[in-house]
Amino acid sequence: MINKSCSQSLIKLGFSSVILLLGMQQNVAASIETEVVAASSEATLETQLPAIAPPELPPLGGPDKFLPSVEIPISLVIKLRDRRVYVYEANALKTSYPIAIGKAGWETPTGSYKVRKKLRNPAWEHPWTGEVVPPGPDNPLGTRWIGFWTDGRDEIGFHGTPNEELIGQAVSHGCVRMRDRDVQALFEQVTIGTPVTVQH
């Protein structure tokens, strides 16, 4: 009876071991399958994600790209006695140019004004006949006009002239005549609103 009972116990133990081994094999297989699936998903994910380029860094130097521009204020002072216009940059004298001014009875008005108009290659209208002279070498205004005074009908400003030998004299009808190369340079330095002071 003992032998039979032992045999039965051994048989049961054998079956239990087999079942346990089968269960372990199933767990191992499932674990391997999970790892394979995970690895496959990672590979698929890697192949699907686009390549991201590293950000482009700005080159060293060139602070103007990142800092706001600072405009240095320009102002003009006409000194009639000197027959010159002085260009100031932040209250420091930058340069000056010789000028011709208004003749007796047509004096260039003194006072404080601002640049109100800028024209390249302006046409000129004769104040009495109304004749219009187009831009060109015979135009009394030259190649630039920088207006700073008006009474609503007439205007006064800086302009070039084909008669540069008269620069330094009081010969105009109130305008400020300049050599053409000088008025072109001045044109590039001023903007609408630039202060213009006319002194004796």
pLDDT tens-digit readout, 35-87: 444 444 444 444 565 667 777 766 666 666 666 667 789 999 999 999 999 99
pLDDT for res 4: 44
Q: How far apart are CA 52 and CA 60, in angstroms?
A: 24
For 8-47, the three-class secondary structure string (H helix, E strand, C coil) is: HHHHHHHHHHHHHHHHHHHHHHHHHHHHHHHHHHHHHHHH
Q: Out of 126, 159, 173, 200, which one is annotated catalytic? A: 159
Q: Out of 6, 126, 173, 175, which one is annotated catalytic? A: 175
pLDDT for res 105: 95
pLDDT for res 12: 44
In the residue annotation, 159 being an active-site residue is answered as yes
Q: How are beta strands 176-177 and 155-159 bridged, if at all?
A: parallel
CATH 3.40.30.10 fits 74-199, yes or no: no
159: left (phi over 0), alpha (psi -120 to 50) or beta: beta
Q: What residues in the chain have per-residue pLDDT under 70?
A: 1-51, 57-69
In the residue annotation, 6 being an active-site residue is answered as no
List phi, psi (to 5°) of 34.
Answer: -65, -45
Q: What is the pTM of this model?
A: 0.67
